C-alpha cells in the first residue's frame, strides 16, 4: 500500500492496546477439549459501535441480538461476549431466547445495560446452547479480563475453532497530533464451517469517530477486504465483523471532513486487510496464500467479480497446490465470470512471469515458474486492458487436507 | 420420469442406430498414447442440425466454424469431425485457419460441401494443432466409418480425454406409428479441463423435425439437463452440444403442433439427461453421483440456482465423500444462493431420511444415514415451501482424487 507511511504497524499490539479496552477468555465447557470457548471485550466507556453481518438468509440468533443492541443503544456498546463450540443457529425461538439470556448475563456480570452488550457465536449448527455452562462461564468473565496482552491472548484463544494460528494485528497513527491505535482480532479458516461455523472479526480503536462515519467506513472497508477473501465460496450463518471506538485518544471526532480522515481510513483498511489475508492463508488445509489482482476491467466491481471467480475456482486452486503454471484455468475462469472482457487483450502473470500476452501464450521458463509456485505466497495478476477497474482478492490452494478436514468434520 | 412409457430405452443402441448415420474414429497422433483422437459422425442425407455452445468469453476456434456451418448451410449438416488431445483454443488467427482447414479436409474426404461439416475439439489449450497429423488422420476417416456398433465405439473412444467410462444412450419411440430412434454420445469428466478441455455431446436421430423446433428443443432441454450438472463449477472454452436429425424415420415433420411432440421431447430429454448424469457420475475423482432436487421455490429458475449452489458447494461435496449427514452445509448453501427463501420453512431429506423440518433439526438414525450416504447415488431433497418452482441438479463428491488429478494435470 502506498499509504503505509500514514500509519505504522505495532507488532506487539493487541486488541487491548487501544485505550479503554480490556479482554479475556476462559473455558466453560462448550468445546470438548479444554481450550477456551468463551471470551469478552469490554470498554470502560460507551464505545461507538458498527457491525456488518453475513448475507446468508439463515442468520443465527446472536446476530439479531447484536443488531438490536447497536440500534437501540444509539450505536454504542460497552462489551461483546463471544462463544465458540456452538453457533446457536437454526435453533428457533429457544435459540433466540438463549442469545438474549447470554446478553443479559453478560450485562449483569459487568454492571452494564443490556443494550450495551453485543453477542457472537461460532460452532455447531442446530444444537441448543447448554445455558448452565454459558451462565457459569459468564460469571467468571469479570475476573478473567485485563488490559494486558494476556487478556487479549485469552480472548483470541476463545474465538478459535479449526484455526491453526491466531489472527491479530495492531497499527498506530497520529490524528490531531494524538496517538490513535487500531487493533483487530479474527477467527475463521474457511469462509464457512456450518457445523463449527464462521468468520468473526473484532476491531477496537481509541479514536473518537462519528458513528455514521464509522458504519460507512466499516461497510466500504469490508467490501475490499473481508468480502474479497474466499476459501471455498461458502458463507456462514454467523459471520460478523464488529468494531468499537472508545474515543479515549482525545482527538477531534473523525468524519470524512477531518484532515486526518485519509490516514485513519488507510490504517483501518490495513487492519482489516491483514486480518482477511491471515484468514485466507489459514484456509482449511491451505499450504499457500493466493493473491489475485485484476486490472483493466470496466469497473472496480467488475474486477472484483473476476478476481473472486479466479480465486474461487477449484481448478485454479488445485493447480496452485500442484505448483502447476496452468494459465488455461485462469483464463477460463476469467471467461466464465459473466463480466465484460475483450477476448483478445488479456495479459496474465504469475509473480513476475508473463504467461499470457494479448490472450496468446508466451513461452516461459517452466523451472522458474515451478520454483515461484512452490513459494508460500502466489500472486496472479490479470490485466484485461478493457478499462480502469481494479480489485484484489485473496484465497488459498485446494489440498488433500481440505478434503480430509471437510469429509470427516462432523464426526 | 413419469413419461417413461412414451419411449423405451434401447440398451444396445448407439449413435449410429438412428437411420442414416455412420461413425468412426482412429488415432492420428494428437494424444501421446495410442488411443483414438480423431472421430467423425456422417449422415447419408443432409440432417437438420442444431447446437448450443459454451457461454465462456473465450470460445475456441472450432465453435466459430461450426456456428458458421450451421447458419450458412440452412441449418443442415452432413458430418461433424472431432479431435481430442488439442482444444485449438487461445490459438489466434492461425487456430481459426486450422479449424477451417480441418473442416475443408473433412468435406473433401467425404465429398461434401464445406458448410455441411461441423468441427469440434477438446484437449490442451494454447497450442497449435499439428495439422499434418490432422490431415493424415482425416484422409483415413472414410475408411474407418461404419453404421455398426463398432464405428460408434471407435467414435466414442476418439472423444474421450480423462473420462473413465464411455457415455452413450439410445431410446426408441413411435411417431406417426413409425419407429424413431434418438441416440447420444458425450465426453467430459469435469465441467472443464482447460488443458484437456471440455464437455462435448452429440445427439443423432432419424426423426423428421422442423429446424427451428429442433433448435428450440435443444436449448430448452440443455437448460434442464447439461446446464444442471456441475463437477467443479467451471465451464470450458470448447463446450458444445450438437444434434443432427436425418429425417429417415419417415414420420411427418415434428414441431410443437405434432400429436407426438410430447413423446419426442420426453425421449430427447431422457437422452440428454442420461448423458448429463453420466458425465456428473464420472466427474474427476468422483465416487458418488449426487442428485439435488429443490421444490417450493418461487420459480423454476430460482429453484435451479439453489440446486446448483448446493451441488456446487465444496463443503457439501466433501461431506458426501465423507458420508457425513451434514445438513448444516446444505442449509448454508440454500441461504447464500441469493434467491428468495423463507428461513423458517425449509425441509431437507437425505434419501428418505428427514434431517430438517421447518428449518429445525430432526433427530435421525446416524447409522441409517451413514449406510445411505455410503451408497453410489445420493439424493438431497430440499422443499422450501415458498412457491411452486422446482429443479433438479446433478454433481459428484469432492475427493482426494479430484485434488490429485487437478494438482498434477498439466505436468
pLDDT in tens, A202-234: 999 999 999 999 999 999 999 999 888 876 666
B93 to chain A, any CB pair closer than 8 A? The answer is no
Q: What pLDDT, on a 0 to 100 scale, did the predictor assign at position A282?
A: 84
Q: Alpha-carbon distance B309 to B206, whole Å?
A: 37
B234 to chain A, any CB pair closer than 8 A? The answer is yes
Q: Tell me where in chain A the CATH 3.60.70.12 domain(s) lie.
A: 4-281
Nearest in space to A60 (alpha carbons), one of B339, B332, B294: B332
Q: Alpha-carbon distance A260 to A142, whole Å?
A: 36
Phi-psi label, residue A188: left if phi above 0, alpha if psi -120 to 50, beta otherwise: left
Q: Alpha-carbon distance A219 to A312, whole Å?
A: 22
> Is the predicted pLDDT of residue B409 greater than 70, yes or no?
no
Give the start-end residues of each E strand in A37-102. 38-53, 76-86
What does the DSSP assignment read for B368-397?
Answer: HHHHHHTSSEEEEEEE--SSSEEEEEEEE-
Subunit contact B322:A408, Cβ cutoff 8 A: yes
- Alpha helix segments (H runs only) across A354-395: 366-373
Q: What pLDDT, on a 0 to 100 scale, did the predictor assign at position B243?
A: 98
Radius of gyration of chain A (CA): 22
Q: What pLDDT, on a 0 to 100 scale, did the predictor assign at position B369?
A: 93
Q: What pLDDT, on a 0 to 100 scale, did the predictor assign at position B323?
A: 86
Q: What pLDDT, on a 0 to 100 scale, did the predictor assign at position B233?
A: 60
Residue to test with chain A: of B314, B384, B397, most A Cβ within 10 A: B314
The nearest alpha carbon in chain B to A91 belongs to B360
A125 to chain B, any CB pair closer than 8 A? The answer is yes
DSSP code for A53 = E
CATH number 3.10.20.340 is the correct assignment for the domain at B289-407: yes
CATH number 3.30.460.20 is the correct assignment for the domain at B4-281: no
Out of B55, B336, B361, closest to residue A126 by CB: B361
Q: What pLDDT, on a 0 to 100 scale, did the predictor assign at position B326?
A: 83
Out of B236, B333, B398, closest to residue A332 by CB: B236
Task: State the burial class of residue A253 (Cβ atoms within 10 Å of its Cβ: 0-12, 13-18, 19+).
Answer: middle
How is residue A137 written as a grid cell? 462461564
DSSP code for A211 = H
Nearest in space to A217 (alpha carbons), one of A263, A269, A277, A279: A269
Greater pLDDT, B409 or A31: A31
What is the rounded average pLDDT of the residues B387-402? 90
User: What whole-number percentage of chain B has pLDDT above 70?
Assistant: 94
Out of B232, B332, B411, closest to residue A192 by CB: B332
Question: Would you name the residues of A annotated as active-site residues?
Answer: 198
Q: How many CA atoms lie within 13 A of B211 on its CB side?
A: 13
Contact A409, A193 (CB under 8 A): yes
Buried b (16+ CB within 10 A) or exposed e, A286-313: bbbbbbbbbbbbbebebbbbbbbbbbbb
Contact A194, B332 (CB under 8 A): yes
Out of B195, B332, B343, closest to residue A234 by CB: B332
Nearest in space to B228 (alpha carbons), one of B403, B394, B104, B381: B394
Greater pLDDT, A244 or B322: A244
Subunit contact A314:B402, Cβ cutoff 8 A: yes
Question: Would you name the residues of B annotated as active-site residues?
Answer: 198
Q: Which helix (H) or strand (E) holds A222?
A: helix A211-224
> Is the predicted pLDDT of residue B192 greater than 70, yes or no?
no
The angle, 0 to 180 degrees and rounded to 10, between the axes of the packed helices A327-336 and A314-321 is: 160
User: What whole-number percentage of chain B has pLDDT above 90?
Assistant: 71
Subunit contact B407:A322, Cβ cutoff 8 A: yes
Nearest in space to B313 (alpha carbons), one of B235, B392, B230: B230
Residue to test with chain A: of B335, B339, B359, most A Cβ within 10 A: B335
Q: Alpha-carbon distance A367 to A371, whole Å?
A: 6
Phi, psi at residue A329, to the nearest 5°? -70, -30
If DSSP codes are grouped into helix, strand and coil, which group holds residue A59? coil
pLDDT digits (tens, 9 = 90+) for B219-249: 999 999 988 887 666 667 788 999 999 999 9
Buried b (16+ CB within 10 A) or exposed e, A171-188: bbbbbeebebbbbbbbbb
In chain B, residues 209-228 whose CB comes closer than 8 Å to chain A: none
pLDDT digits (tens, 9 = 90+) for B40-84: 999 999 999 999 998 888 888 999 999 999 999 789 999 999 999
A94 to chain B, any CB pair closer than 8 A? The answer is no
CB atoms near residue A130 (< 10 Å): 15
Nearest in space to A83 (alpha carbons), one of A203, A198, A182, A231: A198
How is residue B97 written as a grid cell? 485457419
Q: Alpha-carbon distance B303 to B340, whole Å?
A: 10
In chain B, residues 386-405 whose CB comes closer than 8 Å to chain A: 398-400, 402-405
If DSSP codes are grouped into helix, strand and coil, which group holds residue B272? helix
The angle, 0 to 180 degrees and rounded to 10, between the axes of the packed helices B314-321 and B327-336 is: 160
Q: What pLDDT, on a 0 to 100 scale, did the predictor assign at position A197?
A: 46
Q: Alpha-carbon distance A71 to A68, whole Å?
A: 5
Q: Which residues pair with B77 in a beta bridge?
A: B47
Q: Is B284 annotated as a binding residue?
A: yes
- CB proximity list for A227: less than 8 A, separation 6 or greater: none
- Output the CA torsion sign for A372, A377, A378, A379: negative
Nearest in space to B378 (alpha carbons), one of B315, B295, B316: B316
Q: What pLDDT, on a 0 to 100 scale, did the predictor assign at position B154?
A: 97
- Going residue by residue through chain A, which has 411 residues, state the pLDDT in tens, using 9 for 90 and above: 444 478 999 999 999 999 999 999 999 999 988 999 999 999 999 999 999 998 888 888 999 999 999 999 789 999 999 999 998 988 889 999 999 999 999 999 999 999 999 999 998 888 899 999 999 999 999 999 999 999 999 999 999 887 888 899 999 999 999 999 999 999 986 544 334 447 899 999 999 999 999 999 999 999 999 888 876 666 677 889 999 999 999 999 999 999 999 999 999 999 999 999 998 888 878 889 999 999 999 999 999 999 999 998 888 888 888 888 888 889 988 988 989 999 999 999 999 999 999 999 999 998 999 999 999 999 999 999 999 999 999 998 888 888 887 776 554
Nearest in space to B332 (alpha carbons), one of A245, A235, A210, A190: A235
Q: Tell me where in chain A the CATH 3.10.20.340 domain(s) lie.
A: 289-407
User: Nearest 10 degrees: CA dihedral of A62, A65, A67, A69?
Assistant: -140
Phi, psi at residue A38, to the nearest 5°? -145, 130
- Residues of B within 8 A of A162 (CB-CB) are none
User: Nearest 10 degrees: CA dihedral of B48, B54, B55, B56?
Assistant: -150
Subunit contact A343:B59, Cβ cutoff 8 A: yes
Amino acid at each position: 500500500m502506498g499509504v503505509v507511511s500514514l500509519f505504522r504497524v505495532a507488532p506487539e499490539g493487541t486488541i487491548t492496546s487501544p485505550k479503554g479496552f480490556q479482554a479475556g477468555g476462559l473455558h466453560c465447557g462448550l468445546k470438548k477439549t479444554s481450550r477456551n470457548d468463551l471470551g469478552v471485550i469490554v470498554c470502560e466507556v460507551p464505545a461507538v459501535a458498527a457491525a456488518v453481518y453475513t448475507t446468508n438468509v439463515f442468520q443465527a440468533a446472536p446476530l439479531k441480538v447484536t443488531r438490536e443492541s447497536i440500534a437501540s443503544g444509539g450505536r454504542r456498546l460497552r462489551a461483546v461476549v463471544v462463544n465458540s463450540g456452538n453457533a446457536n443457529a437454526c435453533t428457533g425461538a429457544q435459540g433466540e431466547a438463549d442469545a438474549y439470556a447470554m446478553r443479559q448475563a453478560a450485562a449483569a456480570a459487568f454492571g452494564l445495560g443490556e443494550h450495551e452488550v453485543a453477542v457472537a457465536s461460532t460452532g455447531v449448527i442446530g444444537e441448543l446452547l447448554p445455558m448452565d455452562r454459558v451462565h457459569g462461564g459468564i460469571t467468571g468473565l469479570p475476573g478473567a479480563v485485563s488490559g494486558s496482552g494476556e487478556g487479549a491472548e485469552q480472548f483470541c484463544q476463545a474465538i478459535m475453532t479449526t484455526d491453526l494460528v491466531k489472527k491479530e494485528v495492531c497499527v498506530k497513527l497520529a490524528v490531531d497530533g494524538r496517538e490513535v491505535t487500531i487493533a483487530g482480532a479474527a477467527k475463521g479458516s474457511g469462509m464457512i464451517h456450518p457445523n463449527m461455523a464462521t468468520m468473526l472479526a473484532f476491531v477496537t480503536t481509541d479514536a473518537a469517530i462519528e458513528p455514521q462515519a464509522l458504519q460507512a467506513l466499516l461497510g466500504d472497508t469490508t467490501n475490499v477486504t473481508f468480502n474479497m477473501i474466499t476459501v471455498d465460496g461458502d458463507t456462514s450463518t454467523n459471520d460478523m465483523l464488529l468494531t468499537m471506538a472508545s474515543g479515549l485518544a482525545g482527538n477531534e471526532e473523525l468524519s470524512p471532513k477531518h484532515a486526518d480522515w485519509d490516514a485513519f481510513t488507510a490504517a483501518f483498511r490495513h487492519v482489516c486487510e491483514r486480518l482477511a489475508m491471515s484468514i485466507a492463508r489459514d484456509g482449511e488445509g491451505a499450504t499457500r496464500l493466493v493473491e489475485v489482482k485484476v486490472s483493466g476491467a470496466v469497473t472496480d466491481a467488475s474486477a472484483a467479480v473476476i478476481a473472486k471467480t479466479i480465486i474461487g475456482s477449484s481448478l485454479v486452486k488445485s493447480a496452485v497446490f500442484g505448483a502447476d503454471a496452468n494459465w488455461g484455468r485462469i483464463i477460463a475462469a476469467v471467461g466464465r465470470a459473466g463480466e465484460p472482457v475483450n477476448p483478445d487483450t488479456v495479459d496474465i502473470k504469475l509473480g513476475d512471469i508473463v504467461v499470457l500476452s494479448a490472450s496468446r501464450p508466451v513461452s516461459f521458463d517452466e523451472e522458474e515458474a515451478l520454483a515461484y509456485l512452490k513459494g508460500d505466497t502466489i500472486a496472479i495478476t490479470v490485466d484485461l486492458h478493457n478499462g480502469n477497474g481494479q480489485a484484489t482478492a485473496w484465497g488459498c490452494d485446494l489440498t488433500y487436507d481440505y478434503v480430509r478436514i471437510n469429509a470427516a468434520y462432523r464426526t
